[in-house]
Amino acid sequence: MTQNSAHKMRAVVKVGTSSITHADGTINDNMVVALCRQIVELKNAGVEVLLVTSGAVAAGVAAMGLTERPGDVSTLQALAAIGQSRLMQRYNDEFALHGAVGAQVLLVPHDFADRQQYLHARQTMLRLLELGVVPIVNENDAIANDEIRFGDNDRIAALVAHSVSADVLVLLTDQDGLFTSDPRYNDDAQLIAEVQSSSDLLSISAGSAGTARGSGGMASKLSAARIASWSGIRTVIARATKENVVVDAVQSRSGVGTTFVGRDRQLSARKLWIAFAAEAAGSVVIDDGATQALLNRGTSLLAVGVLSLSGQFEQGDVVEVLSESGELVARGASAIASHELVNVKGKGASQGPSDSSPLVVHRDELVLLMGDF
């Protein structure tokens, strides 16, 4: 992993649709002004900053004078193309007032799945930082072949933070941070100032619904915080409109949202992808013996421990590994196709001519997700 040049601090800041646009989809000028001012302040203090922004589709909706967001993917992709250039223009104009330069970086999930694309994207972003430029990242919604996740860039922000070895990830939202329960419905909800361990993080659940204009919601923020935490990156979830929130969050000042402490154990880019970024093609349910072997002995998963499977997957596809009670134990890249596994699951060496049970997931391609290890 490329180290920060001259040990400069590096931060990734993500702003969502509900913060960067108004209810009618027009760009929120006050937010652009505040963001750019704070990013330049950090740059002047020697911090390298990447901005991950949503809002292209919403800006396209406003540019076309539509009264509501269409539902079909082809129109959404067209609106993203219309809105993206307008969004960038607004950022570029504002950065120019501070003597700073922004650069558009459009990414799709494939850029993290394919090793060569991953390295290429990372090198481009690092070179932009070396040049003193602010990379402005968005998902390439205009050509993404998956259905557009409207305004949800949380996962991309966490993967970008990992790829450039960021020190801190700031996720700006329309809430003050993570609460003990939903503050919109419970007056007794308390703000959680700090989340220490991954077991705390894995046990927290949150509603997935975001706003009508963005689809992030707190669940995707938690997922992103989990990715960053497992990458050793400190993560802060805070209210976008809070005065000086970006500077305060990056500089670890108290009273800013919820901070997720980065873990000591850091995953490789490959394992991070398996754990959090790849879409699971299927799942396997394993017996208690296999579960204990994975958790306590760091073994590979063998067919003898598999009770059942679902979905159709090929060798190399990512699968979820579930306990007998249905808990997520791990995720891994399968060493065997589902149509082959059906015939050998539950079988050991004594039941076949081979000298051992067939391999399902090698331990080097397996990421444990149960508990805090």
What CATH number labels 279-368? 2.30.130.10
Helices marked H in 131-216 — which ranges? Answer: 154-163, 198-203
- List, by residue range, all CATH 3.40.1160.10 domains of the chain: 5-271
Query: How far is it, in rounded angstroms, from Cα 190 to Cα 79?
Result: 39
- Least trusted range by pLDDT, from 103-107, 209-213, 220-224: 209-213
Return the CATH fold of 5-271: Carbamate kinase (3.40.1160)
- List, by residue range, all CATH 2.30.130.10 domains of the chain: 279-368
* Model pLDDT, residue 347: 74
Q: What number of helices (H) and strands (E) belong to the chain?
A: 13, 15
- pLDDT tens digits, 56-101: 988 999 999 998 888 888 999 999 999 999 999 999 999 999 999 9
3 φ, ψ (degrees, to nearest 5): -85, 155
Strands 301-302 and 359-361: antiparallel
Query: How far is it, in rounded angstroms, from Cα 59 to Cα 82?
Result: 8
pLDDT at 206 over 80: no
* Model pLDDT, residue 215: 39
- pLDDT tens digits, 26-49: 899 999 999 999 999 999 999 999
Residue 267 CA, chain-centre distance (Å), reads: 14
Read off the pTM.
0.81
- Bridge partner list, 91: none
Q: What is the CA radius of gyration of the chain?
A: 22
pLDDT at 127 over 80: yes
Q: Which residue has the tokens 């976008």?
A: 240
Quickly state the pLDDT bin for 145 (edges 50, 70, 90): low
